[in-house]
Amino acid sequence: MFHDFFTPSVQHALDLVGIFVFAISGALLAVRKNFDVFGMAVLAEITALGGGLLRDLIIGAVPPAAFTDLGYFSMPLVATALVFFLHPHVERIQGAVNVFDAAGLGLFCVTGTTKAYEYGLGLTSSAVLGLATAVGGGVLRDVFANEVPSLLRWDRDLYAVPAIVGASMVALCLRFDSLNALTSTLAVLTAFVLRLLAMRFHWRAPRAWNRRSAAAEEEGAGA
């Protein structure tokens, strides 16, 4: 049975790990944007809790865990303190942001899917909420940092696709009653590695067929 392998304590521990790594990515982006310590904390909280908050509101888990569990709120503050004192050199910050973000993406697409399924959603809906849990905080992070969300930019490496793959793996495991610690970890690692490979080899989703880039159109207009 599903609950034999994914007990509430295990779910809570995975949530805290995911919150921490997402908060690290948010705090590191704040450093790169030259935010002060308050801005770092705000961006860390938003990045860490935004996707889970959206998931909980949709599935009816109210009040959301972010407001009832002190650990959920405190973990981003711990991450902020860590980044405040120990952040890498400026030229290395972007790489660190991407790695931590990929780790959070993998963890949250799995925990989000499983929690949605626990609340009675179907496999497809659970996978969709797993995706929303994984990418929601990152979208809010970019918006608050005054950037176009990576999820929406054609010139950014695949972001949502690795989360979709991880969430789909969990849904398939649930379908065939094979979700356990090993398969859950495999789903996390698959999403994580796919995201890293996408960044390494610049894998990107295709745009509309034969559509020219905005840059090319502007050059043509100025010619």
Residue 160 · residue 131 · CB < 8 Å: yes
Full DSSP string of 109-145: HHHHHHHHHHTT--HHHHHHHHHHHHHHHHHHHHHHT
C-alpha 88 chain-centroid distance: 21
The predicted pLDDT at position 152 comes to 86
- Domain layout of the chain by residue ranges: 2-205
pTM, to two decimals? 0.83
Task: Give the whole-angstrom CA distance, residue 105 versus residue 188.
Answer: 8
pLDDT tens, position by position, 199-208? 999 999 888 8
Which range (84-93, 121-130, 180-189, 197-206) has the least confidence? 84-93
CB atoms within 10 A of CB 151: 14
Average pLDDT over residues 181-197: 94
Mean pLDDT for all residues in the chain: 86
pLDDT greater than 70 at residue 189: yes
Count, residues in the chain? 223
pLDDT greater than 70 at residue 218: no
pLDDT tens, position by position, 103-114? 889 989 998 999
pLDDT greater than 80 at residue 8: no
* Tokens 């940092």 -> residue: 145
pLDDT greater than 60 at residue 87: yes
Task: Give the whole-angstrom CA distance, residue 97 versus residue 100.
Answer: 5
Assign 191 a pLDDT band (cuts: 50, 70, 90).
Answer: very high
Residue 108 · residue 134 · CB < 8 Å: yes
The 3-state DSSP class for residue 146 equals coil
The predicted pLDDT at position 59 comes to 95
Average pLDDT over residues 32-43: 94
Which range (1-15, 56-70, 162-176, 188-202) has the least confidence? 1-15
